[in-house]
Structure 1
């Protein structure tokens, strides 16, 4: 029998899960959030292992479409800082701006060397995945 803490809709439940072939498990007499947890009907949920920290997402690889290279946001978040200016020359891998998502700072880098043609976002802007962040030329 294994014990787990499960959060459902903001409420924490302490559950015991039995391995296949064992005897039936009983629910604890007092759930953690004074709420009633119902047993799953289809199958017992598998415990979720802690996820490793995701690497900082980099700007997506450019599609060869011409002289300009549009770099879009890989995730939704808030523009925390802009390190480059329009007209500035950058090298591949240089940090152009930082997006804060889920209290994590994600560096958005230049996918190749070039000159920043435009930066249509400003510090404090909310962006969605796929929104244009800057254009390289």
Structure 2
């Protein structure tokens, strides 16, 4: 069966497979992998979205589009509650798009950059 699912305001078509004959439940031995809405959105969009963990001001942008980034590299410095917070690369990739600049005010969850 096909369904339309909305995740963070974006619509996705998903296909669901029935397990069993529909006359009762069937025990499945596999433990399903826990996936967040953000994980789904990243996989479907084909990129890793780096988002602001809290509201604040961008003090430093340490990347450029097309640049390679390694896990742990500091992409941005975000000032929030008078503290400087480092926004780091979650996994190796290449910077596809930088969406903020130095001095920008961001809200929690705003996408700062996209990696491939």
Both proteins in one fold, TM over 0.5: yes
* Distance of 1:69 and 1:117 partners within structure 2: 9
> CA offset at residue 125 of structure 1?
0.3
Which is richer in helix?
Answer: 2
> CA offset at residue 118 of structure 1?
0.6
* Distance of 1:130 and 1:78 partners within structure 2: 13
Q: Is 1:94 aligned to residue 73 of structure 2? A: yes
When the two chains are superposed, the root-mean-square deviation of aligned CA atoms in Å is: 1.2
* Distance of 2:61 and 2:103 partners within structure 1: 10
* Distance of 1:120 and 1:94 partners within structure 2: 18
Question: TM-score, normalised to structure 1's length?
Answer: 0.53
Question: Relative contact order: is structure 1 or structure 2 higher (C-alpha 8 Å, sep ≥ 6)?
Answer: 2
Question: TM-score, normalised to structure 2's length?
Answer: 0.62
> CA offset at residue 134 of structure 1?
0.5
Q: Is 1:75 aligned to residue 51 of structure 2? A: no
* Distance of 1:89 and 1:63 partners within structure 2: 22
Structure 1: where are the runs of 5+ without partners? 1-61
Aligned length: 76
Matched residue, 1:63: 39
Q: Is 1:112 aligned to residue 88 of structure 2? A: no
Which is richer in strand?
Answer: 2
* Distance of 1:72 and 1:83 partners within structure 2: 15
Larger Rg: 1
Structure 2: where are the runs of 5+ without partners? 1-37
